[in-house]
Structure 1
Amino acid sequence: MTTVPSPCINWCDINPENGYCRGCYRTLTEIANWSDLTNPEKLEVWSLLSSRKLQAPQQN
């Protein structure tokens, strides 16, 4: 079975305003637990990332 890939882009910096990584938009808990999540759980996290990115303050 294929494993759902991590959204990590190797830019690890947690935004204190929203608690999301500025690189992948996951929470610290999601990042820490990634290897233990099932594929459906990983897909659920992936489904949240686009909306988190849209809500995040843009970098200038």
Structure 2
Amino acid sequence: MIDGMNDAGLSAHLLYMPGGYCTYQPFIGDGSDLCEADLIAYLLGTCSTIVEVRAALQGSNI
């Protein structure tokens, strides 16, 4: 479990559920890959709004 809130008030929470509960995309290696464990820190460190989160995730492979 990973969660947090940034100075702008944007908060995020992640539950990692391996073992068939969900699927993850295979590694591509073109710079678009983002590890689910780093996702929250990346989004909270670079975004202030949900609109920015959506834009940041466009073209990302998680």
TM-score, length-scaled by structure 1? 0.29
Question: Greater share of helix residues, 1 or 2?
Answer: 1
Q: Radius of gyration: which is bigger?
A: 2
Question: Greater share of strand residues, 1 or 2?
Answer: 2
Greater relative CO, 1 or 2 (CA 8 Å, sep 6+): 2
